Amino acid sequence: MTDPHEVVVDVIAVGEEPDEWQMVLVEAGPWEGETITHLKRIQARMYGCVDAALDGQLSAKFPDAIGKWVLIVLDCYGGPQNEIQRFFDRFSDGVFSIDDYRKSLQEQAFVQGIRFQLNLGSLPS
């Protein structure tokens, strides 16, 4: 059984810049059912990535990531692109306006900071 507090990251890799590490989440469709259900799952995964970076879980497994920028990448395929874009913009613009996350980012010693990137696409037919 999976720990409900465990985040599933599809890929962790050194970024394109030497001072960057990427945490990549892949969400492939087609999406069935209510869009909100999928967005809640993605939100939980993204919060999990932020938590793992700020709490030191990332740097515990990958010591070379200490003091580096973390880029949380969301690759979404086969979902409703407009809704995903709006959700992603709200999340990435708002996560560090939450007091606990803002304070944690300022006070932690594991990463330089956290950035976000969204890649939208469709699955080949």
2 falls within a domain: no
Q: List all residues 6 or more positions away from 63 whose beta carbon is below 8 Å from its beta carbon.
A: none
In a domain, 6, yes or no: no
Write out pLDDT tens, residues 94-122.
Answer: 999 999 999 999 999 999 999 999 999 87
DSSP state for residue 63 in the 8-state scheme: G
Q: What is the pLDDT of residues 75-100, one digit of tens each?
A: 999 889 999 999 999 999 999 999 99
Classify residue 3: in a domain, yes or no: no
Whether the CB-CB separation of 64 and 122 falls below 8 Å is answered with no
Would you say residue 81 lies in a domain? yes
- For the chain, the domain total comes to 1
- Closest of 56, 46, 61 to residue 105, by C-alpha: 56
Reported pTM: 0.91
The tokens of 77 are what? 């395929």
pLDDT value, residue 125: 56
According to the 3-state scheme, what is the secondary structure of 66-93? CCCEEEEEEEEECCCHHHHHHHHHHHHH
Query: 16 lies in which domain range?
Result: 11-121
For residues 59 and 112, is the Cβ–Cβ distance under 8 A? no
For residue 85, give both structure tokens.
């874009």
Spatial contact of 75 and 119, defined as CB atoms under 8 Å apart: yes
